[in-house]
């Protein structure tokens, strides 16, 4: 599979001059169509798709999108398009190397853009107004890259990227917050997820549920998932998950004849003493004393 390694490689697909060694912005209608063959990106990228010109595949999975959608790519991800050659590609694309983040304010704040690490299952949809905002951000970055360089050029480019990524964060979180609010809360859905998993016997094979695993089940980044849980229940997601594990342990101690070691294994603990320590910290009792008292 072709690996897109640097900005020169990226610009060649647009027959464009490299104006910055770590950043490029281009309009999709200018691209050689081989750009849309599946490639592994060794850089971050953001695509705004303005026409439905094919089936989008990221990391081997179809990613549904609409006109006016955003798609993110992180280093190591693959993306391609099964083209509909009757429709010309329209939209914008930003690509930047991870090295751009080193020892910069953009790099310091990059943790906020955790959606790059979220394997969401549909593109980020935009309203007409949001589409206009994002399009202006791309156009401003394109203009800055084509402006004669001065002592402010680097700062302006990083500020432009930061502004664009901040808007994407806003629209990503709005979309996922709305999806969570349809029906029960995220905590309600998390309860169901954890109850099913902890009662399935799978923890003995796959280990305890983690924040990262739980977040992935809802197509959210761990940071954003943790933020929502904390807003709803005022404790961290990890504390909430541990509480559910302890609750299941209490049921097994009361209602079964399983040994302490068997319960620890059933709930995904590699070592029984780790289970005993967590249980004692949460309840004030060792598992054995809790069983005797109940």
Q: Tell me what pLDDT residue 117 has.
A: 80
Distance CA 248, CA 153 (A): 57
Ranges for all domains in the chain classified under CATH 2.60.120.280: 2-181
Distance CA 139, CA 155 (A): 17
Ranges for all domains in the chain classified under CATH 1.10.10.60: 186-293
Cα–Cα distances in angstroms (integers) from residue 223 to residues 59, 91, 177, 197, 236, in the given order: 22, 29, 14, 22, 11
Length of the chain: 294
Q: Tell me what pLDDT residue 176 has.
A: 72
Tell me the CATH number of domain 186-293, given options 1.10.10.60, 3.40.190.10, 3.40.50.2300, 1.20.1250.20: 1.10.10.60
For the record, the structure tokens of 285 come out as: 């009792």
Q: Are 217 and 118 in contact (CB under 8 A)?
A: no
For the record, the structure tokens of 220 come out as: 């959210």
Residues lower than pLDDT 50 in the chain: 182-183
Q: Are 245 and 238 in contact (CB under 8 A)?
A: no
Q: Which CATH superfamily is domain 2-181 in?
A: Regulatory protein AraC (2.60.120.280)
pTM: 0.67
């Amino acid at each position: 599979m072709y690996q897109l390694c640097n900005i020169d490689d990226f610009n060649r697909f647009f027959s464009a001059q490299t104006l910055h060694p770590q950043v490029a912005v281009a309009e999709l209608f200018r691209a050689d169509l081989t750009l849309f063959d599946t490639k592994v990106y060794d850089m971050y990228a953001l695509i705004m798709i303005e026409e439905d010109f094919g089936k989008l595949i990221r990391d081997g999975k179809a990613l549904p999108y609409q006109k006016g959608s955003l798609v993110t790519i992180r280093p190591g991800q693959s993306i391609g398009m099964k083209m509909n050659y009757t429709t010309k590609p329209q939209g914008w694309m930003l690509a930047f190397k991870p090295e751009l983040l080193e020892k910069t304010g953009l790099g310091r704040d990059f943790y906020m853009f955790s959606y790059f690490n979220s394997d969401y299952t549909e593109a980020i949809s935009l309203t007409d107004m949001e589409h206009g905002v994002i399009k202006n951000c791309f156009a401003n970055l394109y203009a800055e890259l084509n402006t004669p360089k001065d002592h402010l050029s680097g700062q302006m480019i990083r500020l432009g990227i930061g502004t664009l990524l901040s808007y994407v964060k806003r629209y990503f979180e709005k979309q996922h917050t709305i999806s969570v609010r349809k029906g029960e809360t995220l905590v309600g859905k998390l309860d169901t997820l954890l109850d099913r998993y902890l009662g399935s016997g799978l923890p003995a094979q796959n280990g305890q549920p983690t924040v990262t695993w739980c977040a992935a089940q809802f197509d959210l980044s761990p940071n954003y998932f943790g933020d929502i849980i904390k807003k709803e229940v005022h404790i961290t997601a990890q504390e909430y998950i541990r509480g559910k594990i302890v609750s299941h342990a209490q049921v097994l101690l009361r209602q079964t004849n399983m040994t302490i070691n068997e319960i620890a294994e059933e709930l995904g603990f590699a070592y029984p003493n780790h289970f005993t320590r967590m249980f004692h910290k949460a309840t004030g009792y060792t598992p054995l004393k809790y069983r005797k008292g109940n």
